[in-house]
Structure formats: C-alpha cells, structure tokens
Structure 1
Amino acid sequence: MIEHYPSQALTGLTLAIATVLLLAWAYWRSRPTLPLPPGPPSEFLLGHSRVIPKENAAEVYAKWSKDYNSDIIHVRSLGRSTVVLNSADVARDILDKKGANFCDRPRFTLLEVAFDSMGWGKTLTFLPFGERWQMHRKFLQTSFSNTNVRQWHTLQITEARRTLQNILKKPETWETSLRRLAVAIVLQVSYGTQVLEDDDPYIQIANDAMYATGNGGVPANSIVDLVPFVRYLPDCIVRDWSLRFARQWRWAIKKLHDVPFAAAQAGNHRYDHYTDNSLAHHLLREYKYKESRGQEQQWSLDDIKGAAGAVFIAGADTTWATCVIFILNMVLHPEIQEKAQQELDAVVGSDRLPDFSDRPALAYIEHIVQEIYRWSPLAPLGIPHKSLHDDIYKGMLIPKGTSEANVSLLIVNVTRWGGYLISTRTVVYANAYAMAHDERVYKDPHDFNPDRYEAGEPFPVGNFGFGRRVCVGRFLADNSVWIMVATMLSVLRFCKKVSSDGKPIEPRVRFTNGGTCHPEHFDCVIKPRSLAAEALVNSD
C-alpha cells in the first residue's frame, strides 16, 4: 500500500512521474509541422538534452554550423527550442537597425534567481525596458560618451605607467599588477577611490566578483531555465551546478556593490582630484542636495549603487582579461611584438612614452588591439535581448516578448525564416565567437594576425554588444586597453619561460567557462626592453 511507503520514496516517485509527464507534454507540444533548421540527432522526449554543450558552448555551436553547412543551428531540450545564429549580419540588422524594438531583456530564470540574488538586478546590464532602464541608460550614456571619457585620459595614462613600475619591480606578479590597473581606473571613475598598491583589499573584492561571473555558466543554458519550478527544490535533488555556483558565490557580487558604496556614502574616500567627477560622488551629491530640501528623488540609493557597481565590475573584468590576452599573444608571437615596437620607436621615439595623441599615427598598435578583441571575445554568447513589438525580418516573424541576438531570442509564436520553422518559445543566440572566426570574413581566423586589417578585413563587431544595449562604458574600456598596450610595448619585452633543460615552455591557451571567458594563468618572462626604457617609466 502507498501509505506504507517512506515519505522520501513517495516524494521521489511523485517527482519522477511528474517529470515524465512534463517531458511527454513538452515533446508533443514541440513537434514541428514544418522543417526545422539542421542540428545534431535528437532523442525521444529528451531531445538534445544530452548533447547541448555546458562548456565552450560558442565553439561547439560554431562547429555544428560547419558540420551542418548552415548559419542557423537548432537544438531542443525539455520542450524548449534553441536556435544559434552564426552571422554578424543578422545581429546588425535586428539589434542595430531596429534597436528601439530590441532594447528589452527577457526574464530568464537563472538571471532572476541567481544573478538577481547575486546583486545584478539593479544594474543597467540586466534591467528590463522601462523608465528605470531609460533613466540609467541616459545618464550613463552621457557620462561615458566618447567625448566625456576624455576627462579620464590623464588617469588612464598615470595608472598605465604606475602598473609598469609595479611590473618592473616584481615581474613575477604581473597578473596582479594588471588587476590593480583595471580596478584602479574603474574604482576612481565609479567611486573616486584610489588603489595604489597591488595588495589593496578592493582588488580581492574585484577578483572574487570576476571569478563569480567567469565561472557561473551561460545564462539560459541551465535546467532552471528549462524547468523554472526546480528553482524551489533543494540542491540535493536539483543537481544543477550553475544554480548551485551562483547561490554559493552571490556574496561576492553583493560585496562588490556594498563595500565601495558604503565607503562613498560615509565619505571614506582616499581622495584625489578625480573624486568630484566620479559617478557615485556626483549622484550622491545630487541625492543629498534634494534630500536636504525635501525634493523628489529621481535616483534611489539602490539605483546609485547599481549604476556604480555595474561600472566597477564590467570595467575591472574586461580591462584585466583583455590585457592578459594581449600578453599571451605577445609571448606566442615575438615577431608581432617586434613589429609593434618598431612602429612605436618610429612614431613616438625613445625619449618619451606614448599618450592618446599618438593613437591616430599608431596603426599597427590599433590593429593589435582590434585583433585581441576578435581573437577571443570575452562574452562569446553575450546577454539576451527581448523585443517589445512584433517584427518581421527576412520573412521571419519575431513576435512581441521575444529575445534576440548578441544574445538570445525568445519566440512565443510559430515563425518561419528562410523556409525553416522557428517554433514556440525558441531561444536564439547570436554567436559572437562564430562571428569573430567566420572563415568567409577572416582568413585563418584562429590565427592571431594583426596584419589582416591592413589587408582589408573588417574590425570585429559585437564585442561590446549591439543596439541600445551596447555597453555604455565601451569607450572608457577601449581607451584603457589601448594606452596599456601601447605603454607596455614601449617599455617591456614578453618572452616564453625557459625550463631547467633550456627549452622554452609553451604557454597554455585555456579560458574559463561562464558568462565571460577569462584566460587562465600561464607562465612567461617579462623584462624591460632596455635600461633606457626602464629609466623612462621610472622617471615619470
């Protein structure tokens, strides 16, 4: 009799029956009546659940695109269809040309449960379309316009040169010095706080947050996204590593938001002349002014915290990772390093270090920076967008409430594209990795080759997003990367480490798996180009 079963067994049996019924219902509901885009073979009920990639997803989808000779790949899991787009043209057409319609975010369960509880819900990156998002975007877009970020040029030059001084003192801790560089710039921009030493506590706060974002899996690719109700079940039943990881590491994101903001509120700044221009200082000053006069507040304290926190983590994460990718490729390609240094010597000379006025004349340095962006996109599948109204693209209806590209597309009605069926509740990714490694656009795309741009190949697109969800801090981030690359090449030489038997050690090219992909640690040797170059940076 059932009443004699242990309660745990009864619960397990109930869940098993419910799961089978759900799978059967989802399978029946998702049966196509028109051709679907090609993809790997599927299984009854499970669909592609056992082959959908959990690691290196962008690379797997790019390979399937070649295997099935199609820019569009389809997979299905637990009733939900996923379509992966591997063309830059689609992302441009939808998100850039029709940006007003594709400016929303979907309500993905992993983002809602994990990242929102981690503290991301109040940041511009994940805010849904609405008055709050428009307010954040308008202010941040103006603050970080290509013109306004020039006020930070002196800061970026100063921090780049301070970073070189630290690397020359302790070359074995070069990665820590680069973390300090990234944190120092964005912390002064966002909170007006200085970070002078490589062991500053704020660096560890940023490190923990970067680990959380770099290892937490890809949004919309977990069991909780497919079956939302499992979010309420304990970890012992739902063995989903991405949800468990997010719950375990949400403290890191919370700390990144809370600690510097609390210091800004209390006035506990390590002040310098940049403090008055910082994002948090400006908004808090306005908030306190209105509060003292009983005026209605436009920005809540949570809004201010979210805006400043978004700048902090996004800038610290991308700047550091991009600089590490640069060093990795200089170690692997000494001939590129030498050519860049020849250009610097010819344009800048040997009696000073480069500054932003040199950028137009340093074409090869620019090509190196663009090749860093292309060779390894930091967010291979990006963050989902969602449409506000029905839209038709090349015969495909994209209904209201659907999400697309840099990123993902949630389709809530049956649609057609190029003769293919894109069925109900389809999620579509625009694969930034595939775009950057498209052999139709780039010759030998897996090679790191800055010369490709001199031959007429286009600069990469989409690294900072698309349309009205494009990264508002892209000009600041790009300036930080450029000045650091130019300054490092002026002063330093990057070489392979040599083993005890005198053989060079090849660096490992490995990346983390998450919403962002960070390069893993590798060994190298960093030394000054010359005594004169070393003296130049130390005299600054």
Structure 2
Amino acid sequence: MDYWASDHRIASLHGALFILLLCLLPIALRALRGRPRLPPGPNGLPVIGNKFDLASEATWIALRDLSRKYGDVISLRALGETIIVTVLNSMTAATELLEKRSIHSGRPSSIISLSEMLGWNFSFGFKGYTDEWRRERRLLWQYFHPNTVQHWHAVQLREARRFLQYLLRNQCELNDIIKLSLCRALLGATYGIPAKDVKMRHVDLLTEGETGISEAYDPASFHITWLMRNLPSWLLTAGLKGKLARWRSQSKAVVEVPFEDWQNALKQGVAESSMLSDLLGIAPLPTQVTREIGDKDKAKAVAATAFFAGSDTTVGTFHAFFCAMILYPEIQKRAQEELDAVVGSDRLPEHADRPSLPYINALIKELIRWYNILPLGLPHCSLEDDKYRGWDIPRGSTVVANLWAILHDDERYPEPDTFKPERFLKNGQIDEDVLDPGSVVFGFGRRFCPGKHFADDTIFINIASVLHAFDIMPALDGQGEPIPVVPKIVPGFVSYVLILSVWQHLLMRLLENLGAIQVFNPRAIEHVRVSSAVRVRRSLAHVWAKRKRCLPPGPPGLPLLGNVYDISQDAPWVSYRDLAAQYGDVICVLLVGHPVIVLNSTDADADLLEKRSAIYSDRPKSLVSLSRLLHWIWMFSVKPYGDDWRDSRRLLWQSIQPSTVAQWHPIQLRESRHFLRYLLQGNYDLQEAIRLSLCRTLLSVAYGLPAEYVDGRYVDLLREADNTLTQALDPAVMFIPFLRYLPSWFPGGGWKSGIERWRAVAVLTRDLPYQDTLQAMQNGKAEPSLLSELLGDLDTMGEIDEECVKGVCSTMFVAGADTTASLFHAFFCAMVLHPEAQQRAQAELDAVIGLDRLPEHADKPSCPYVSALVKELLRWHPVSPLGVAHRYATVMTNIWAIMRDPERFPEPDRFRPERFLKEGELDSDVLDPSDIVFGSGRRICPGRYFAEDALFINIASVLHVFNITPALNENGIPVAVEYKIGAGLISYVTTPELFFVLNRS
C-alpha cells in the first residue's frame, strides 16, 4: 500500500509538472517575441511600479509633470507589466488617438464589468463600444445634438429663472439651490417632471449616487470589486454585502426614482413634454429629427443617464463659477457689463442672447477649462492593436486623456491657472483659433458626451442669468472683512470646488428694493475620487507577449506593478502631462502589466481618436464588464462599440445636435432663472443648488419631468450615482480582477460588499426619472422631452426597445448633470479667483442685455466675452481631465494637459477668457476646449451642444444678476481662494466655499 501510494504521489507530481509545462510553454514562446515598445514613462519600483510617481493629491498634475519629462504621451506600469496605462497629456495626442482613430472608443473591461455588477451599466457612458451602446447613445444624442438641443431651452430658461428666485429668497444652501435647479432642468427636459415635483429628495438621490460611485470606483477599493464579482455570496462578509447592496440600490434609485416620478406626473396629467415621453411615444416633441424609439427599459436608462450625468457635472461647473466670480471680480464685472449692454435692465438673459454675449461665452469656456469636472475623463480602450509615433498600443490597452493637462497647457493657454475668459476672445468675439475647452472636457472621438450642447446651454443660461441679476462677492468675517477664497477640488467621480467659507449675501442688480440679503451656508462637499478604468491581465503569457510590441514611450516601471507609483492618485493628468514632457505627447504607462496609452496633445488625440475612430471607439473590456456587473451598462458611454451603442448615441444625438439643441433652450433658460431665484433665497449649499438646477434641466429635457417633480432626491440620486461609480469602478479591481473576490475581512478586501448597493443605485438612476415621468404623463403634466419623443416612435425603431430609451434618457440625465454641475461649480471658483473676468463678463452682459432683463440664449452671439469665458471655463476646468478610456489598448486623452498646453493657451493656469477673443469676437483660430473636453472620435459626448448652451445661459444669468466675490474672515479681510480639483470620474473644485454671491442692483 505504501509503495502504491508513493508511485501514486510520483505520478501525480509528474502530471502536475506536465500541466505546468503546458501552461508555461505558450508563455515562454510569447516571451521570445519581445516586449512591446510602449510610450515613454518613469521607471517604477519592483512590483508597485509607478505608484509613488503619482502619489500627489492631484494625479492629473503628476501626469502633466511626467509628460514634461517624457513627452505628452506617457506610459505607466503597475504590478510589473500587468497593467499599462497610456496617458495623453496634449490635445494633439488626444486628437490623434481618440478623435481620428475610432479603434480607441472602447471602455476598459474593468469599468464595464464593475458597472454591470453595481447596476450602473444602465448608463451607456460605462458600456463598451457595442451595438447596444450605439443605440442608447443615439437615443440620447437625437435629443441633444446641435439641431435639436434648442428644444430644451425653455426648460433651461425656466429653471434658470427659478434659480434666480431661489437666490433671491435666500433660504437654502447654495449647493442645494444649484443641484435643485439643475435637477429641475434635467428632470424637466429628460422626464418632463414638473418643477414643483422636483424636491430635495432628487438632490439627495444625485448626491447619494455620486457618493456611491466615488466609493465603488475608488482606485483604493478596486480589490473590493474583484471580490464581489468572483467570490460566491456566501463567502462575502456582511460589510461587503452591505456595500454592494448600498451601491446597487443607489444606481437603481437613479434610474427608478425619476422614472417613477414621471409615471406619477403622467398619471396626474402634469407631466411635461420631455425626452422620455417622446422616447416612449406618449408625448412626441415638435421636432424635425428622426426619432429612434427603444423599449421602456432603454428609455429609462437613457433618461437616467442624462439626468445623473448632466446634473452632477453641471453642479460642479456652477459651483466653480461662483468661486471664479469671487476670485476674479474684474471678470464678473466685465461679464455683467456685457450682459447689461446686450440684455438691458428690463429683462433677463435668454438663449437667443448668447451670440451677442461673446464675453459670457468666453467666461463659460474659461470656466470649463479652468475647472475640470473630470480631470482625467473616462478611460478609453483600444479595439485592436495600433501604432502611434512608432509606439505600440496593444489591443485592450487603457488610454487616458489628461484633460486637466490639456486645458492647462501653458502654450495653448498662457497662465493656465488664471481665470481669463479673454483668452477665448479676439477683437471682441470668440476666437475660433483658441482650443475650445468644450471639445476636451466632454470627451473625445465616439465617446464624447452626447449631452454636451445641453450642458453648455444650461451653463450659459444660468451663468448669464446669475451675473445679470446678482453680484457675487466673498463672505465677510466677524469684523466685516472679506474672507479670502482658496478653492480646492474634491477628488471624486465628479470633482467639485470646495471652499471653506461661504457666500454671505447677495446684492441683487435688477431688483433694487430687495437690497443686500443674507444667502447661504453651504455644507462641506463630500470627498469623492475618480478612478481610471483599467484592468489586469490574468495571464503572464499575455503580459510577456505585450513586452515584444513597440509601445509608445513611457517611464520604466516596477516589476508587476509597472508605473503605479509614477502616477498621482489625486491628479493623474498632471503626472501624465509631466511624463509627456519627458517622453513625448503620446506615452504609455503600464499599470499591473496593462498598457494605458495617454494622449497629451491635440494632434495625438485627433490622429488616433478622431482619424482612427473606427478602431479606437470601444471601451475597455474591464469597464464594460464591470458596468454590466453593476447594472450600469444602460449608460451608452460605457457600452462597447457596437450597434447598441450606435443606436443609443443616435437617439440622443438627433435631439441635441447643433441643429436641434435649441429646442431645449426654453428649459435651460427656465431653470437658469430658477437657479437665480434660488440663489436669492440664501442659506443654501451652492453645489446642491447647482445640481438641483441641472437635475431639473436634464430631467425636463430627457424625460419631460416638470420642475416640481424634481426635488432633493434626484440630487441625492446623482450624488449617490457618482459616488457609486467612483467606488465601484475601482481601478485596482479593473486592473487586478481577483481583488473582486476577496472577502472584506481579507487585507485589501471589502469591495464586493458594495455590489448590491451599487446595482441598486444604477437601477434607481435609470428607473426613478422614468417612473416619475410616466406618472407625470398620466397626470398630464409631463412636458415634451427626449423620452416622450423616443417612446412615441418606439414602434418604428426596429430593435430599439424601451430599455434602450430608458438608458439613453438616463445617460443624458446622469452624464449631463454631473459634468455640467462640476463646470458650473468651477465657474463660481473662477469668478472669485479672477474677478477681472467676472467684471468684464458682467460689463458685456450689461452692455448687451441691459438691466431690465436676464440673459437668453439668443444673446450668446452678442456676448463674445461670456462665450469666451465659457470656453475658458471648459479649458481651465476639464470636467474629465482624462476623458473616458478607449480600448483595446486602453487609450486616454489627457484633456487637462491639452487644455494646459502653454503653446496653445499661454499662461494656461490662469483663467483668461480673452484668450478666445480677437477684436472683441470669438477667435476661431484658438482651439475650442469644447472640441476636446467633450471627447474624441465616435465617443464624443452627444450632449456637447446642450451642455454648452446650458453653461452659457446659466453663467450669463448668474454674472448678469450677481457679483461673485471672496468671503471675508472675522477681520473683514477677503479669504484667500485657491483653485484645486479632486480626482474622480468627474472632477470637482475641492476648495470650500469662501465667497459671497451679491445681487448687483
């Protein structure tokens, strides 16, 4: 028996050795082929790679610094060669890879799988480049492309007016006012929920969703995702299960809550015409676009995406706007002068005023440039092997665009840290030769944000309205001295301006009888983080095979870890930009053996993501798989490149393309007015107010939800969705999948416990606005919207079903709200830091609009400085500094680096709207940040024009009404304000709110 046992053991050993040899043989053969020639990058430490190279608070800054050493395209490594991240720190690299080459239009599989697990896959922004992504993105795009987005101007205008009323009443925190106003605009446009039904629960819904995303997608929590995905449920600890359940519930709420509100409004007959009602064919919109109708679930997903994305991002922009007006009172004054001249004193700005408000437009551009909502954007993933400048970009590589670096390029934007709307002006008009930050912050290629134009219109009508009605001034301390404002960016899925003090009072410019009134005491902004969508290769054979390829240059990394420590976790776009300075504008970083190509120039971005969009339009598999796992795959921005993605994007694009985006101007104008009123009320949280305003705008456009249907729960839903995506799309989990299966009690474990919660948030984000819209439709209160248009044509749209329509509407809501909120938040920060820009914008507004009305979209052509300010805002603060990764080799555009290119934007860190102006008009020779920040190639954000209109009308309104000034300390001295953004899928200014909003009359 012993002899037999011994032979048995020997035989077993031989068998095991034989199997091991079979496994190692292909690895050895592939190793002989040589390693790929990746973009240059810093040398990393063994195992951990470049982690310490990116250890700063702002990863995007660390990446920018690395690009200065290695070139605008750098590569980083983590876990040896397992993870390779290529970071694009210039507009050239981002354009070449993400715009010109559609093969980089994918999402990392880690992001996809994480979104699926957490329920955030309803948003096509997290889906891979697939047919499903195409369909959902098309659903949303058809309502927000430039030809249809003007349909939502009424909703935007209504909520902008309401925002002014809130400001006038001075009863809530500014954050709450902004979020509520945006929620009403988004829920009104997306779901048709009446404004009266949009409450703080909608704001809370957005906030909780953002918090959940930030937690779930936190790079430090990637191991949790791996555990949750791979371990059986009975092995998960209570903590992991609780996290998962919470994250899933948050994503579910983002979808379900607004949808239920829409259903209730429909039942009560109060639902307004909206995107959702149109998608479902209940209340078709009076548009001339070709509608593609999906099923109910897709409509819910699309509406939830529009609501969630639109609200949270725009909140950050509004918040930054108030900060900027305090920091730069001269800019506020100039913007108000333009508003007064164009609009006059007998009315408020409207979307039609936008062409006449070049300085306001420049201010919005500068706000977007100065304040990056997503400093690193969402990572791209390559669909197939590619070569760029002699470097290899392997299939499946993660490519990150350092949006912050692009928008802080001191060659493109001199003094990039200074808020200077003038940088976008030439001869008093928008300078077309200056890179529009909107072309950067809204993504590249086929992954650009479809809600870009809606967000732009929302930002415009609100900013113009606020500037026309109020003066924004710093808070005063106990001694009556202004408190210095030092803005900081809250790291997170969407970055926010965080200011330690507050606006203390408003000075109404148009209603003199109101006088000076106390305003708000904003809550501290929750810290969230942005995650790079990257994934780990499970096979050493694959890692060794990649070493043989000729990848773009990048820093040498550590064994296994690669360049993890070369990239700052807080500002990776800066690290990529710095690496690009050393290695070139196209770099490759290895993150745990996974190559990530980063494009740090517009040339690289155009060459790859635009010119080769056919192969760079997918999302990394890790992003797609995680999105499916977390139920976020309904967002077509994360869907793989395919018919689903095309259908989704087409549905959205046809309503918000340049020729149709004006249909939403009334909504944007309405919500910007509401935002101004909200600011007047005082005692509010600016960030919350921005989010609510954007929620109302996007929900009205996407779903037709009346403003009264959009309350704090949508803001909370957006916040929860953002937090969920940030937490669930943990880069560590996407790079190292086995971390998804570790129990919470295991060192590095804990991610999996949040899956159920993330999924719930994903489902809620998709279904809530849809349900609310259905109710509004039943009640006859739903407005014409993207949803109603799509639902009305559902029977004629072939394979597109209701779920696709839901996904498109939800994607518009989620993607549009969050990014635009971040930009609007950054706008406030820019106005504080650069008062000269605020003053000039106000001067233009006063000259164009006058003192008897508020700005409108029609004023935009007459307000070149305001338009330049918007461009500078997009450049100065890229919402997604690195955009969304394309696959297969993950390709990211360093939007921040491109927007900070000193050759394109001298003094890129300065907020200077004038850089976009030439002889008082917008200078077409200046790169428009909108061409970068909204994505590249086929993944470009379809809501770009909607976002730009929203930014213009909101910024013009705020500047026309308010002065944004620094807060005062206890000695009555202005508090110093410092602009700082946090890491996250969407970056927000993290500086506490140390500024006033004063009405100008």
TM-score scaled by structure 1?
Answer: 0.79
Corresponding residue for residue 95 of structure 1: 98
The structure richer in strand per residue is 2
**Post-superposition CA distance 1:392-424 (Å, at most 9, x none):** 433345454445354878897443256779687
Q: Distance in 2 between matches of 1:493 and 1:74?
A: 44
Q: Using a 3 Å threshold, how does the CA distance of structure 1 residues 263 and 71 change in structure 2: closer, same or farther?
A: same
Which runs of structure 2 are paired with 1:265-284 in the superposition (5 Å)? 265=263, 272=270, 275-276=272-273, 278-284=274-280
**Post-superposition CA distance 1:435-454 (Å, at most 9, x none):** 21122222121111111222
User: Which of 949, 953, 960 is the equivalent residue of 1:479?
Assistant: 949
Q: Is the 8 A contact 1:213 1:514 kept in 2?
A: no
Q: Distance in 1 between matches of 2:165 and 2:331?
A: 24
Q: CA deviation at 1:354?
A: 1.5
Q: Does residue 302 of structure 1 match 2:297?
A: yes
Q: What letter is aligned with 1:330? A: M
Q: Distance in 1 between matches of 2:264 and 2:345?
A: 45
Corresponding residue for residue 452 of structure 1: 915
Corresponding residue for residue 351 of structure 1: 346
**Post-superposition CA distance 1:59-90 (Å, at most 9, x none):** 21112222x24223332211322222212112
Q: Does residue 64 of structure 1 match 2:66?
A: yes
TM-score scaled by structure 2?
Answer: 0.44
What number of residue pairs does the alignment pair up? Answer: 487
Unaligned stretches of 5+ in structure 1?
A: 1-24, 288-296, 531-540
Q: CA deviation at 1:329?
A: 0.4
Q: Does residue 333 of structure 1 match 2:328?
A: yes
Q: Distance in 1 between matches of 2:901 and 2:218?
A: 22
The structure richer in helix per residue is 1
Which runs of structure 2 are paired with 1:74-93 in the superposition (5 Å)? 74-78=75-79, 79-93=82-96
Q: Using a 3 Å threshold, how does the CA distance of structure 1 residues 475 and 91 change in structure 2: closer, same or farther?
A: same
Q: What letter is aligned with 2:165? A: Q
- Bigger relative contact order (CA 8 A; separation at least 6): 2
Q: Is the partner of 2:106 in helix, strand or coil?
A: coil
**Post-superposition CA distance 1:363-391 (Å, at most 9, x none):** 11111000011112211112233333444
**Post-superposition CA distance 1:157-184 (Å, at most 9, x none):** 1110110111111176222111111101
Corresponding residue for residue 529 of structure 1: 1000
Q: Using a 3 Å threshold, how does the CA distance of structure 1 residues 417 and 262 change in structure 2: closer, same or farther?
A: same
Corresponding residue for residue 44 of structure 1: 46
Q: CA deviation at 1:31?
A: 12
Corresponding residue for residue 663 of structure 2: none
Corresponding residue for residue 427 of structure 1: 596
Q: Distance in 2 between matches of 1:45 and 1:30?
A: 22
Q: Distance in 2 between matches of 1:399 and 1:42?
A: 20
Q: CA RMSD in A?
A: 3.8
Q: Using a 3 Å threshold, how does the CA distance of structure 1 residues 106 and 75 change in structure 2: closer, same or farther?
A: closer
User: Which of 522, 546, 550 is the equivalent residue of 1:416?
Assistant: 550
Return 148-157 or 206-215, whichever deviates more.
Answer: 206-215
Q: CA deviation at 1:185?
A: 0.9
Q: Using a 3 Å threshold, how does the CA distance of structure 1 residues 124 and 189 change in structure 2: closer, same or farther?
A: same
Corresponding residue for residue 363 of structure 1: 358
Q: Is the partner of 2:196 in helix, strand or coil?
A: coil
Corresponding residue for residue 494 of structure 1: 964
Q: What letter is aligned with 1:328? A: C
Q: Distance in 2 between matches of 1:243 and 1:69?
A: 43
Return 477-486 or 426-435, whichever deviates more.
Answer: 426-435
Q: CA deviation at 1:103?
A: 3.1
Q: Is the 8 A contact 1:214 1:516 kept in 2?
A: no
Q: Using a 3 Å threshold, how does the CA distance of structure 1 residues 415 and 259 change in structure 2: closer, same or farther?
A: same
Q: Is the 8 A contact 1:120 1:306 kept in 2?
A: no
Q: Does residue 142 of structure 1 match 2:611?
A: no
Q: Does residue 122 of structure 1 match 2:122?
A: yes
Unaligned stretches of 5+ in structure 2?
A: 1-26, 284-291, 403-532, 555-586, 598-891
Q: Is the partner of 2:176 in helix, strand or coil?
A: helix
Q: Using a 3 Å threshold, how does the CA distance of structure 1 residues 270 and 54 change in structure 2: closer, same or farther?
A: farther
Q: Distance in 1 between matches of 2:355 and 2:46?
A: 58
Q: Distance in 1 between matches of 2:132 and 2:40?
A: 40
Q: Using a 3 Å threshold, how does the CA distance of structure 1 residues 384 and 286 change in structure 2: closer, same or farther?
A: farther
Q: Is the 8 A contact 1:41 1:48 kept in 2?
A: yes
Q: Does residue 375 of structure 1 match 2:377?
A: no
Which runs of structure 2 are paired with 1:6-405 in the superposition (5 Å)? 37-53=39-55, 55-66=57-68, 68-78=69-79, 79-99=82-102, 101-108=103-110, 110-113=111-114, 115-170=115-170, 173-196=173-196, 199-214=199-214, 217=217, 223-224=222-223, 228=226, 232=230, 248-265=246-263, 272=270, 275-276=272-273, 278-285=274-281, 299-405=294-400
Q: Is the partner of 2:314 in helix, strand or coil?
A: helix
Q: What letter is aligned with 2:908? A: P
Q: Using a 3 Å threshold, how does the CA distance of structure 1 residues 169 and 470 change in structure 2: closer, same or farther?
A: same
Q: Distance in 1 between matches of 2:897 and 2:241?
A: 27
Corresponding residue for residue 535 of structure 1: none
Return 374-383 or 76-85, whichever deviates more.
Answer: 76-85
Q: What letter is aligned with 1:105? A: R
Q: Using a 3 Å threshold, how does the CA distance of structure 1 residues 98 and 438 change in structure 2: closer, same or farther?
A: same
Q: Using a 3 Å threshold, how does the CA distance of structure 1 residues 501 and 137 change in structure 2: closer, same or farther?
A: closer
Corresponding residue for residue 887 of structure 2: none
Q: CA deviation at 1:104?
A: 2.8
Corresponding residue for residue 738 of structure 2: none
What fraction of aligned residue pairs are identical, expressed as a percent?
A: 29
